[in-house]
């Protein structure tokens, strides 16, 4: 048992307890255990949720995910107290809209389903950056995510979305039931746009960190995510550890990443990559899970 685990009694349900408690009268019974991320995301964690669940801290107060992406672990855990953040403006607006205005969002997505074709897709890439209304932004964002090549979010140096259309005969643009379930899971979550560098960790909080992987796709925004950002993230992890918080981080198995986290627990796991920016990178890959507990 680690030093931190001895310091307190359980403050939060374990993964198995969360699943059991869903049926309890104090839990929202209408939330299905099959709720899943409403976005496709490069590097999404649905394939390793069991591995992540087995390695959760035994006790923590608030769940934090400062590099949100699709939020697969969040939707699996459904933590009652959570803070979700990301630097991607469109992603955060979309999560906030699913939480706050899911019915209006569904209505706009119905129009996108009806109008979808290549010409409409190309116009959507422009509309995403000219829209002002949050519901409109979210609808364009989900539409592009479901219809673009491999669900990739990529912008050029000018900050414009430049992913081509995918070769889908019938893209699953709208899943009304899942969107409503996601809205219920998100209803009490704090969702904010910020850099991971802005987080201020406190004792007993849990942080799951899933950055763009080292030496993998880094075109998440116009600036990318390079070695300097990975060093900064390692510094945040040290800060979490220093204040008595918990972190679990996913990343590539490279010498550089291993050197950054040599003072923490590093494990190698096998992960499936079904959504990737490169077709030849799909399949089984080995990656690292890094923890301070």
Under the banding of pLDDT at 50, 70 and 90, the label for residue 216 is confident
Tens digits of per-residue pLDDT, 90-121? 999 999 999 999 999 999 999 999 999 999 99
Would you say residue 14 has pLDDT above 80? no
Best CA proximity match to 266, nearest among 282, 281, 252, 279: 252
Strand 190-193: give its sheet, edge to edge.
190-193, 82-86, 63-65, 206-209, 246-252, 283-291, 265-273
Element at 208 (helix H, strand E): strand 206-209
Please give the C-alpha separations between residue 34 and each of 156, 183, 245, in angstroms, as whole numbers.
35, 14, 30
Higher pLDDT, 160 or 20: 160
> What does the pLDDT read at residue 78?
96
> Going from the N-terminus, what domains does the chain have, and what CATH number goes with each?
3-87+194-291 (3.40.50.150), 93-178 (1.10.1020.10)
Tens digits of per-residue pLDDT, 146-200? 999 988 988 888 888 999 999 998 999 999 999 999 999 999 999 999 999 999 9
């Amino acid at each position: 048992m680690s030093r931190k685990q001895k310091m307190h009694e359980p403050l939060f349900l374990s993964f198995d307890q969360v699943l059991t408690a869903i049926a309890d009268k104090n839990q929202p019974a209408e939330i299905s255990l099959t709720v899943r991320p409403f976005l496709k995301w490069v590097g999404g964690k649905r394939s390793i949720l069991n591995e992540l669940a087995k390695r959760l801290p035994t006790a923590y107060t608030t769940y934090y995910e400062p590099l949100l992406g699709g939020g697969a672990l969040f939707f699996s855990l459904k933590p009652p107290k959570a803070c979700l953040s990301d630097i991607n403006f469109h992603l955060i607006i979309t999560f906030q809209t699913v939480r706050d205005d899911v019915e209006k969002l569904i209505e706009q997505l119905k129009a996108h389903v009806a109008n979808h074709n290549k010409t409409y897709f190309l116009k959507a890439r422009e509309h995403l950056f000219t829209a002002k209304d949050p519901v409109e932004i979210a609808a364009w964002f989900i539409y592009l995510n479901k219809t673009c090549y491999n669900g990739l979010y990529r912008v050029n140096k000018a900050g414009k979305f430049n992913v081509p259309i995918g070769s889908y005969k019938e893209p699953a643009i709208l899943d009304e039931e899942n969107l409503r379930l996601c809205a219920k899971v998100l209803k009490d979550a704090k969702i904010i746009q910020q850099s991971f560098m802005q987080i201020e960790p406190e004792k007993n909080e849990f942080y799951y960190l899933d950055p763009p992987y080292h030496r993998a796709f880094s075109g998440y925004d116009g600036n990318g995510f390079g070695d300097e950002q990975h060093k900064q993230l390692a510094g945040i992890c040290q800060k979490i550890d220093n204040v008595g918080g918990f972190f679990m981080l996913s990343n590539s198995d490279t010498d550089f990443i291993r050197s950054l986290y040599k003072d923490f627990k590093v494990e190698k796991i096998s992960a499936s990559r079904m959504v990737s920016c490169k077709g030849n990178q799909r399949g089984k890959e080995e990656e690292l899970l890094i923890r301070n507990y």
